[in-house]
Copies of this chain bind each other. A is one copy, B any other.
Amino acid sequence: MLQIRSMQDDDWPEIWAVLEPTFRRGDTYAFRQDITQNEAHHYWVELPAATYVAQDGGPVLGTYYIKPNQPGAGSHVCNCGYVVAEAARGQGIASAMCQHSQEQARALGFRAMQYNLVVASNTGAVRLWRRHGFEIVGTLPGAFKHPQLGYVDAHVMYKHLIDS
């Protein structure tokens, strides 16, 4: 059974093993394709408020972070990033992490969640976030340079987590 829990320091090698192929591919996240492990640790573990891992009795299959999307007057809106191991796609892990992240975000006091740059060609992700109640509130024309497709649009997606 899939379990999602807060990461511990010694999870990092397995987290990096999940992240690295996705970042190297460069078609979903706006990290440099040649990002170093230290830089990735900074973005994924040090900057965020919390980082989680998903496991099913074995190695880490997925990971996500939560952080305030802006400081100060924007800090009640959080941002999350999710990555699933390539060999574990199609098993509902991203969906389970999305659900888990909304619960954790509420527990951390966030009022809304925002994804800043959902690559339009990543149709599976767009569909999944919509199914979880996220709306496309805006589309940034040509804002993402896809390694195969060139400049593609990216969506800003947003969901209220509490009744205002």
Contact = CB atoms under 8 A, between A and B. Distances in A.
A32 B141 contact: no
Given A114-B140, A164-B151, A145 B76 contact: yes
A72 B156 contact: no
A142 interface: yes
Interface string A59-90: 00000000000111111110000000000000
A142 B117 contact: no
Contact of A30 (B35, B72, B139, B151): B72
A58 to B, nearest CB: 31
Interface in A94-140: 111-112, 114, 116-117, 136-140
6 contacts: A35-B71, A70-B143, A74-B143, A112-B141, A136-B138, A137-B141
A145 B73 contact: yes
Interface string A16-34: 0000000000100111110
B139 A31 contact: no
Given A30-B72, A71-B32, A156 B140 contact: yes
Contacts of A142: 111-112, 160, 164
